[in-house]
Amino acid sequence: MHPREALQIAREREVDLIEIVPNAQPPVCKIMEYGKYQYDQTKKEKIQRKHQHVSQVKELRFHPHTDTHDFDFKMRHARHFIEQGHKVKAVVQFRGRQLAYKEHGTELLKRVEEQLSDIAKVEMQTKLEGSHMIMIFIPDKAAKKKKKDISENTL
């Protein structure tokens, strides 16, 4: 339809002519109230924002000689964070002469990796940055799906 005809029809009905897709050939337009159109658009945007999941990086700090109880306590937190869909950054913090014994930090991070292997994957391998040794874990979607399938089969 010719734009003049569309404008004429919109004026007769006392509504607006709204250009929906300006780059199309010919441009796509709708005859409706502009206020209602804006309301529908904001409602769609709100729904899209609501369904977005923002992942955060949760940090767990260890020292080279972290005791077993403290380690287990932090592992429970790490599991909880990963099950919620967050990334977990495990950091071993060295002080003074402890930096000479980097293998203690590496062993600790390997233990963390073993503990989380059933629900998480390693995103970033062990990396030494200054006096911190870092390893990042992300939720393993395949493991989560497998766990869900097993729980459904037991019911």
User: What is 14-67 written as a DSSP string?
Assistant: T-EEEEEETTSSSPEEEEE-HHHHHHHHHHHHHHHHHT-----EEEEEE-TT--
Tell me: pLDDT of 58 over 70: yes
Q: Once rounded to an integer, what is the mean pLDDT over residues 114-135?
A: 92
Confidence of residue 1 (pLDDT cuts 50, 70, 90): confident
Distance CA 105, CA 66 (A): 10
Q: Once rounded to an integer, what is the mean pLDDT over residues 115-126?
A: 91
- pLDDT tens for 91-101 read 999 998 888 88
Distance CA 119, CA 56 (A): 17
Tell me: pLDDT of 146 over 70: no
* Residue that the structure tokens 């870092």 belong to: 134
Confidence of residue 4 (pLDDT cuts 50, 70, 90): confident
Mean of all residue pLDDT scores within the chain:
88
Output the pTM of the full model: 0.60
- Bridge partners of 57, per DSSP, are 87
Distance CA 89, CA 126 (A): 11
Q: Output the six-digit token pair for 7.
A: 């404008």
Domains annotated for the chain, with CATH where assigned, are 3-50 (3.10.20.80), 57-149 (3.30.110.10)
Given this model, what pLDDT does residue 101 score? 87
Confidence of residue 18 (pLDDT cuts 50, 70, 90): confident
The single-letter DSSP state of residue 27 is P
- pLDDT tens for 44-55 read 999 888 887 777
The closest alpha carbon to 32, from 53, 44, 17, belongs to: 17
